[in-house]
Amino acid sequence: DADVTQTPRNRITKTGKRIMLECSQTKGHDRMYWYRQDPGLGLRLIYYSFDVKDINKGEISDGYSVSRQAQAKFSLSLESAIPNQTALYFCATSPGPYTVLNRGWQETQYFGPGTRLLVL
Amino acid sequence: ELKVEQNPLFLSMQEGKNYTIYCNYSTTSDRLYWYRQDPGKSLESLFVLLSNGAVKQEGRLMASLDTKARLSTLHITAAVHDLSATYFCAVNRDDKIIFGKGTRLHILP
């Protein structure tokens, strides 16, 4: 089974609708992230969370909100979807914090399979 | 504000040739990552570089980090078609991980 799962994998919605993308992980990592990918723009960080009580804005948080329901679950919501939110959305996890002992070798991010969202 | 720039953004090369992808970043950081993405797929971690002068190699790929120059390179040796993919570098600054736009690598047989 995949360590990082995202649901749904594909979604078509209409402008103004509320939509939630869900991410679950079985890696036991504290840190979770949401990114969006647009052609030619790479990945841009939307929100990130270092534990259940910690939520931080990324580069492009406007129009999005998140909820960290448990260590293993991190949801991204679009309160009122608009067409320029059409993109590929990735959830990622990583262990933390960085320590001298682990030398950061585990610190890489593990990505989910992505959710393709089309807003009409 | 941290900016991460990769070049080239697109590279088409022949099998058997060597080439280098460059990743420049604008503010100090002590962690740099390289990822690979195949078309329609998710991202896969390749390397994590932690310190100045760090060099890591896996098969035909070698990554290095110069923190003073704020530059990382991903060198491809004797390219093979299987290495065709998009390669991203990413930099950690204050626990935010910021990605470059990616280098789309197309290796011709």
Q: DSSP readout, A39-108?
A: TTTEEEEEEEEEETTEEEE-S--TTEEEEEEETTEEEEEESS--GGG-EEEEEEEE-----TTTTTTT-S
Please name the member of A48, A103, A110 whose beta carbon is closest to the beta carbon of B50: A103
Asked if the Cβ–Cβ distance from B97 to A33 is below 8 Å, we say yes
Tracing tokens 């760090």 back to the chain, one arrives at: B54
pLDDT of residue A97: 59
Instruction: Look at residue B101 and tell me whether its pLDDT is greater than 70.
Output: yes
Asked if the Cβ–Cβ distance from B98 to A45 is below 8 Å, we say yes
- Tokens (6 digits) for A51: 């534990």
Q: In the predicted model, what is the mean pLDDT of chain A?
A: 90
Asked if the Cβ–Cβ distance from B102 to A42 is below 8 Å, we say yes
Find the mean pLDDT for residues B3-8.
95
Q: Which residues contact B59 (CB under 8 A, 6 or more apart)?
A: none
Task: State the number of CA atoms in the 13 A half-sphere of B4 facing the CB.
Answer: 29
pLDDT of residue A100: 55
Integer angstrom CA distances of residue A58 from A43, A55, A71, B62: 11, 10, 19, 30
pLDDT of residue B65: 94
Please name the member of B42, B48, B95 whose beta carbon is closest to the beta carbon of A112: B42
Report which of A19, A35, A28 is spatially closest to residue A111, judged by C-alpha positions. Answer: A35
- pLDDT digits over A57-98, tens only? 998 999 999 999 999 999 999 999 999 999 999 999 988 655
Tracing tokens 């990622």 back to the chain, one arrives at: A92
- Kindly identify which residue of chain B lies nearest to residue A89, measuring between CA atoms: B42
Question: Could you tell me if A88 lies within 8 Å of chain B, comparing CB atoms?
Answer: no
**What is the number of residues in chain A?**
120
**What is the number of residues in chain B?**
109
Find the mean pLDDT for residues B89-95.
86
- Chain B residues with CB-CB distance to A40 below 8 A: 9, 101
Asked if the Cβ–Cβ distance from B101 to A48 is below 8 Å, we say no
pLDDT of residue B54: 86
Find the mean pLDDT for residues A99-112.
67
Confidence of residue A22 (pLDDT cuts 50, 70, 90): very high
Tracing tokens 């329609």 back to the chain, one arrives at: B40
- Tokens (6 digits) for A39: 């052609």
In chain B, what percentage of residues exceed pLDDT 70?
100
